[in-house]
Amino acid sequence: MPAQKAGRANRFGSVPGTEAVWAAGDAAAFPIKQGGLAAQQADAAAEAIAALAGADVDPQPFRPVLRGVLLTGRGQAWMRGPLGDDEGAAARRALFWPPTKIAGRYLAPYLAALDEAQALGADAQPSGHSVQLDLEA
């Protein structure tokens, strides 16, 4: 097999020239390293892996949308980068849901359920079932 640069993944997280290697986050060659983008890369890779394993899913490619919250002396400013024809936005209210530090389609609901279980003192772990979220806007 020819030598590959580590992490040169396609938009589905698959590393060309390998049979079953995917990359996301710090393991992927992408110019911006940010938890939310890493979660989006992982979502694309997870869907591609699930489809390869026979799951009835339509894998969607990684389409980076940078999201963040700027903490100011007057509160918070929510920001979202461009997606398609949308040029992005900034507002004093949440521009994405869930309004968490890492807004991944699958990771954010899991972390929220884990936080809730810990707050209630529950020993049970969240099931990790996916929840469809509106991360397009």
Query: What confidence tier does 4 reach under pLDDT thresholds 50, 70, 90?
Result: very low
Range(s) of the domain holding residue 17? 1-64
Give a yes or no: residue 119 inside a domain.
Answer: no
Number of domain units in the chain: 1
pLDDT given at position 2: 45
pTM for the structure as a whole = 0.71
Give a yes or no: residue 7 inside a domain.
Answer: yes
- Name the token pair of 23: 């990359």
Which of 16-20, 53-57, 71-75, 83-87 ranks highest by mean pLDDT? 53-57
Tens digit of each residue's pLDDT (9 = 90 or more) over 21-78: 999 999 888 888 998 899 999 999 999 999 999 999 999 999 998 888 888 888 889 9
pLDDT given at position 134: 59
Give a yes or no: residue 23 inside a domain.
Answer: yes
Selection from 108, 91, 86, 118 nearest residue 39 by Cα? 108
**Can you spell out the DSSP letters for 31-53?**
S---HHHHHHHHHHHHHHHHHHT
Give a yes or no: residue 5 inside a domain.
Answer: yes
Give a yes or no: residue 31 inside a domain.
Answer: yes
Give a yes or no: residue 122 inside a domain.
Answer: no
Give a yes or no: residue 11 inside a domain.
Answer: yes
Give a yes or no: residue 46 inside a domain.
Answer: yes
Q: Give the separation between CA 54 and CA 44, rounded to whole angstroms.
A: 16
